[in-house]
Structure 1
């Protein structure tokens, strides 16, 4: 089954319904399908091996995604925020490609005659012009729907592979076809090169929900679009939600009465932030969605009812679940394993393993699945007695002090509970005595005085234990995050090294 079938089903069921809104333009499902089929004709005629997008979200992204699927060619959305040298290396790896977006940058970084490069508007026009003569049938190719390059923080980026079967399994297991009424609209503001953005397109189209694309996130623009189009659903990352709440707290309060559901993910959600959101939007259901590129998006959910129940709970264990990512999807299995690969009981921390039909665990270079189909996520965490999954960071982020494993998250949570601390991060720093020690960097909240180093150390010593006390403490105006709200610990380590 090809993911293009989702758009074909939507166009057959409701051809005139608006499927996508971007920059004031409105696209029906029938017109999006025509553009996708025309794009498939362009792709086949080009003889390319990949279809790449080097651009912000737009109708061109949807046409390229489904056009590539129909043509049986992998779709490769590229991170346009990458440095030139890094982007040039990725362009070389996918040549010959049909590339949509920043023509001048592509021609400067990868001036290959084997590539065909089209600006966004030119691609859309050419696709619609080719639609009349385009074949309707889809070509499965080698079954690869999407290729996403990993962030490559410690080595060259890996090319993560998502096959049609993986994505179809995820959508069919989580979305009911045509379930959305015509007035429903999903506001999508995550970049097109992130799995969350791709999953939002696929799931909204299958549900027949109108997609509101905001190419570049800005909190005021987000609020305006949500109010103006009466958005019923939205997906945000924690940093986006923080900026939205800051804007609302400053007095910008458009009518969001239609906003029934907000899903979030992509990075750790500060407990104080989601508590504030639940208070500020009492009629909105919040969902924490945990997933990875290699798992075709979400594998665990903390749903709206669970958010509200944990928010008002008096039992400490029940209240703590507001900091969890919920329970596995019915179609997914999750285990916690130790360093020797042994499955751990409830409450024991280790590495998170995932298995299911939506789980790819595959790269162009190799497969990361074990013999039984389990994928090692490299995320650390534990599952409580009721089956709720808690994350404690990346397995690679664990601080090993004198042979003792220390989770940065436990230290950060203690800091974030202090009224004066807005942001906090703990990282491993070199130590002559212990091999590694804790380095702590904090951001002081506006209107508060910076606590003394020793005061922060004493809080950690009192609430945790002496091994968690940082050897060095730094203060910063802000912490480095990527566009999906993930803390860039490698950049923080550079601050300590400097």
Structure 2
């Protein structure tokens, strides 16, 4: 893990941003304070309705069963589940045991899941028998000591002797390992401590508008922000949990009017897909009071459109590594909320490098990566994190993201590594060279566009042929290129490196 300067540790502890609480202790207190708060899963295949007490009962029985099988503080517990009750039970059980939890996005394929399980070597892994494209594959977890499959044998892990209390754990140690795509070929394992995750949870809970209403959580709980919003903040706040396992704008609109559920933001696509749906009416606006937007690029056209409809918009900027770097408070002036990504949050410091790259540090910054070489490359000895994003600061300290150094595509809030996609493309017959860039997407912000240089006498593959190849490779469908372009050669630098900015310019001209 990275070395955190002693003066930062002292400051974070003195200010109360870092405490000695573990995530298990935070959860236990919150659950004891509000046991009767509703917890519901709105699903066509696995609906569920109960209370925090009911979910905690399952979590404590699971914790007891895992403990009987040798799982305890310092171990890791991984799960790959949709937004179901069992995902909450696994997360809460792991925290109560003092184990580090490893959420895996439910639509990740064989390649990603195999890499993650090999990287963290969990003591236990819980997944689903089947959901959409997710299918239990026993060979991937053959070396995991404890495996549970929802829909098959999950209940066999539940002990008749529930765990009482919480097991002690080091609050400075790992509580969460979240995997995210980036510029590397494989997902990056981001390690958060009880202290960094605890601060992030308390900070977000305090920043949300008090009259935001009962929220519908559609972001996958395998993602950092979906997990925090579903399993941590409601417990601290004593507010209901409402999950949906598939984003269907029409169904979301029915849940809003039928159950009084509110949509509070996320990646812009979640909000714009509601406004663009034929079932949307002005009556739905009373369930869209606020729109906190982030997770992908936030076009000004979207923020101004929402503001004209009377929705109170504010933007935020962060990453899995540093979840909350800046945000416009909901009380900030409208121009700051609509046109900037906010100013630094509690304890956070930001500065710009000579090339405009954003550097950040703060009490919610992760401990580092599971890959020590990546940790050494991204963090410096003074505690600064190199974000890979480019920005500008105005005279009031408000940040606006203007570009990206990293070779990354953000599709509807999902990070896609161009390098990872290029590796799969290069295995297609006849492909001599491949380059993948971000292309504008009216719904999702960006999608992957592929440029291929073919070997002589080899035709460029069709989209259907490319999709079949990616299906065979086991890469998540969200990462598949959505357009293909053939080039005779690539624009290059003097050293031969592909000039991807020119490929992006070419796409802009075509569209």
TM over 0.5: yes
1:490 alignment partner in structure 2? none
* Counterpart in the other structure of 2:32: 12
Within 1, Cα distance between the matches of 2:281 and 2:255?
Answer: 13
2:117 corresponds to 1:94: no
Q: 1:176 to 1:430 in 2, by over 3 A?
A: same
When residues 116 and 474 of structure 1 are mapped into structure 2, their CA distance, relative to the original with a 3 A threshold, is farther
What is the CA-CA distance between 1:393 and the residue it aligns to? 2.6
CA contact (8 A) 1:289 1:300 kept: yes
Q: Is the 8 A contact 1:286 1:303 kept in 2?
A: no
The more displaced of 15-24 and 160-169 is 15-24
Q: How does 1:255-274 map to 2 (within 5 A)?
A: 255-274=284-303
Structure 1 residue matching 2:177: 3-state secondary structure: strand
User: Following superposition of structure 1 onto structure 2, how do residues 84-483 of structure 1 map, counting pairs within 5 Å?
Assistant: 84-103=110-129, 105-112=135-142, 114-121=144-151, 125=155, 130=159, 132-140=161-169, 143-176=173-206, 184-201=213-230, 202-232=232-262, 234-247=264-277, 251-252=280-281, 254-280=283-309, 282=310, 284-295=311-322, 297-306=323-332, 309-310=334-335, 322-338=338-354, 350-366=356-372, 367=375, 368-397=378-407, 430-431=491-492, 436=499, 438-439=501-502, 470=505, 475=510
Q: How much has 1:20 moved relative to structure 2? A: 4.4
Three-state SS of the structure 1 residue aligned to 2:324 is: strand
Q: TM-score, normalised by structure 2?
A: 0.70
Deviation of the 1:390 alpha carbon: 0.7
Q: Retained in 1: the 8 A contact 2:117–2:141?
A: no
Query: Are the aligned partners of 2:82 and 2:245 in contact in 1 as well (CA < 8 Å)?
Result: yes
Provide closer, same or farther for how the CA distance between residues 64 and 235 of structure 1 changes in structure 2, counting only shifts above 3 A. farther
Alpha-carbon distance in structure 2 between the residues aligned to 1:11 and 1:359: 26
The residue aligned with 1:25 is 48
Structure 1 residues without counterparts, runs of 5 or longer: 311-317, 340-349, 399-414, 442-469, 477-498
Tell me the residue number matched to 2:434: none
Partner SS state of residue 304, structure 1: coil
SS in 2 for 1:185: coil
**Cα offset for 1:440?**
5.6
State the shift of 1:433 in Å: 7.4
Q: Partners in 2 of 1:358 and 1:6 — Cα distance?
A: 16
Change (3 A) 1:438 1:364: closer
**What's the counterpart of residue 42 of structure 1?**
65
Once residues 475 and 118 of structure 1 are traced to their aligned partners in structure 2, the CA distance between those partners, rounded to angstroms, is: 49
Counterpart of 2:476?
Answer: none
CA distance in 2, matches of 1:189, 1:431: 41
Closer, same or farther in 2 for the Cα pair 1:387/1:360, shift >3 Å? same
Aligned partners of 2:208, 2:509: CA distance in 1, in Å? 52
Contact 2:24-2:166 at 8 Å conserved across structures: no
Contact 2:193–2:367 (Cα < 8 Å) also in 1 = no
Deviations 1:281-319 (A, max 9, x none): x1x322222111112x22211233446x22xxxxxxx7x
Shift of 1:138: 2.8
Q: Which moved more, 1:356-365 or 1:426-435?
A: 426-435
- RCO (CA 8 Å, sep 6+): is it higher in 1 or 2? 2
How far the C-alpha of 1:166 sits from its partner, in A, is 0.3
Cα distance in 1 for partners of 2:295, 2:276 equals 20
Identify the residue that residue 91 of structure 2 maps to in structure 1: 65
Alignment RMSD (CA, Å): 3.5
1:4 Cα offset (Å):
2.4
In 2 relative to 1, CA 150–215 (structure 1 residues): closer, same or farther, beyond 3 Å? same
Q: Deviations over 1:228-285 (max 9, x none)?
A: 221245232122222111115x6555544244323221100121122112222x1x32
Give the 3 Å change call, closer, same or farther, for CA 211–57 of structure 1 in structure 2: same
| Contact preservation (8 Å) 2:62, 2:90 | yes
> Within 2, Cα distance between the matches of 1:362 and 1:34?
33
**Residue 416 of structure 2: aligned partner:** none
Task: Give aligned pairs, total.
Answer: 403
| 1:227 and 1:256 in contact (8 A); partners too | no
Distance in 1 (alpha carbons) for counterparts of 2:397 and 2:352:
11
Equivalent-residue separation in structure 1 for 2:117 and 2:314 (angstroms): 36
Q: Which moved more, 1:70-79 or 1:251-260?
A: 251-260
Query: Secondary structure in 1 aligned to 2:359?
Result: strand
In 2, Cα distance between equivalents of 1:472 and 1:28: 50
CA drift of 1:137 comes to: 2.0
* Counterpart secondary structure, 2:105: coil
Deviation sequence 1:178-204 (CA, Å, 0-9, x none): 9968x9411111111211112212222
- Deviation string, structure 1 residues 398-434 (Cα, Å, up to 9, x no partner): 9xxxxxxxxxxxxxxxx99xx9xx9899999623679
Query: What is the CA–CA distance in structure 1 between the aligned matches of 2:507 and 2:320, rounded to whole Å?
Result: 34
